[in-house]
Amino acid sequence: MSIPALLGLTFIICMFIGVPIAIAIGVATLVSLVAGGIPTTFLAQGSFTAVDNFPLMAVPFFILAGNLMETGGLSQRLVNVASALLGNVTGGLAIVTIIACMFFAAISGSGPATVAAIGAIMIPSMIKRGYGRDYSGAVASSGGSIGILIPPSIPMIIYGVVGNVSISSMFLAGVGPGILVGLALIIVGFIIAKKRNYTGSGEKFNLGHLLKASWEAKWALFAPVLILGGIYGGIFTPTESAVIAVVYGMVVGLFIYKELKITDLPKVFIDSALTVGSVMIILGTSTAFGRLITMYQIPQLVASSIQAFSGNKYVVLMLVNCLFLVTGMFMETLSQVIIFTPLLLPVVTALGVDPIHFGILMVMGAEIGFLTPPVGVNLFVATGIAEVSLEKISQAVLPFILGLFLVIILVTFFPQISLFLPQLLK
């Protein structure tokens, strides 16, 4: 058996028997190294050098910033603004959930963190208003997926590092598709709510109430302005902006909203460290895995196979979209980005696809992976809050996945949706 075949087979077997993704990738790499007579230090060295990268420092800081802002009361105030804006319409609480997820996405950069921050507030509220538990969980988990598309975004940082693409441009490119995904999820949520007769909050729209909620949330609303405005104003880099976000979240939570207590900090730091640890393990083993497949020229094999199938870039991109739809069921988001970027980026750029456009499609494909079991992380977070089975929430989230995939198709055939802002501000 050839080494590439052994690599793939070992990985598939590990996934099939339920080995965690980071360990499965590491085991497949290790077995292939031994079979190929390559020193096993390749895995350790590859894992170490993967995380020894300055731009990657943004990842732990954005994770910590999201946890600080969630604990410090910023997420509650974002929910209050969204509720005052659209909470009174049919399915209003679902719409509020998605809008609040879009706001929080501009702070956290993480899908599961967005679900936890907004879902913990909105899922119980929806259930109290008579919304189904499965529907409530599906709304929060699908809204949370926007967390990696609207900047800042941890997967975009990883893609920028692996693909040698501007992270600032990736952040800009995510704005248009992020808004479109939010609108699509709102439409799907509204249609389902209309059929099930889910009402809004019962309170009529009041401009004074909206202005009051907005004023109380001004520090929360200013966070994305500070983070993104500083990046594009040339004041600090994306990596430095993550540190600014941490300091801002801590100051606002401790001294302005005063909902973050000194006694809360150890738990926030420990939770963030556990998340960062799992991310870095996945990053390390996936990078070693990616270098091994590059060493055996698997990218060239994939490229020739795809080009033999079709030379039309849109056909190839649709094939890639379908590939992400399938692999997202079994692979964690960062693993997909790290493994498929060196495999597919040379193929699509040779066909004339902009690397930034492809990066956005990759992140959007990874979004669906948050919503598809058995790996769907957002679903697991939402099931715990909504107290509903994974089977029921998986069925309830299907219409939202369809809406998300339709937006992916739209962005595929109209690349200016993602490229307009980067080209405008270049």
pLDDT computed for residue 214 by the predictor: 92
Indicate the pTM of the whole model. 0.84
Neighbours of 9 (CB within 10 A): 14
Instruction: List the domain range (segments joined by +) for residue 62.
Output: 40-425
The reported pLDDT for the residue numbered 333 is: 83
Say which residues have a Cβ less than 8 Å from residue 392's Cβ, sequence separation at least 6: 133, 134
Q: Do 381 and 110 contact (CB within 8 A), yes or no?
A: no
Which residue in this structure is represented by tokens 């992380």? Answer: 377
Instruction: Look at the chain and report how many structural domains it folds into.
Output: 1
Q: What is the structure's pLDDT at 202?
A: 67
Classify residue 16: in a domain, yes or no.
no
In a domain, 316, yes or no: yes
* pLDDT tens per residue across all 426 residues of the chain: 788 888 888 988 987 887 887 788 889 999 999 998 889 889 888 888 877 777 788 888 888 888 898 888 888 898 888 888 877 788 888 999 999 999 888 887 778 888 888 888 899 988 988 899 999 999 999 999 998 899 888 899 999 988 999 999 999 999 999 999 999 999 999 999 999 988 776 677 788 888 999 999 999 999 888 888 888 888 888 888 889 999 999 999 999 999 999 999 999 999 889 888 887 888 888 888 888 877 887 767 777 777 777 778 999 999 889 888 888 877 778 888 888 888 889 889 988 999 999 999 999 998 888 888 767 888 888 988 898 888 899 999 999 999 999 999 999 999 999 999 998 877
Whether 65 contacts 190, CB under 8 Å: no
232 in any annotated domain:
yes
349 within some domain: yes
Q: Would residue 19 count as lying in a domain? A: no
CB 115, CB 160: distance < 8 Å: no
In sequence order, which residues have a C-beta less than 8 Å from that of residue 305 and are 6 or more positions away?
Answer: none
Stretch (H or E) spanning 216: helix 207-216
d(CA 167, CA 159): 8
Burial class for 104, CB neighbours closer than 10 Å (0-12, 13-18, 19+): buried
pLDDT of residue 416: 95
Q: Is 25 within a domain?
A: no
Task: Specify the pLDDT at position 252.
Answer: 93
- Tell me whether the omega of the peptide bond preceding residue 152 falls within 30 degrees of 0, making it cis: yes
Report yes or no on 23 lying in a domain: no
Evaluate whether residue 8 is within a structural domain: no
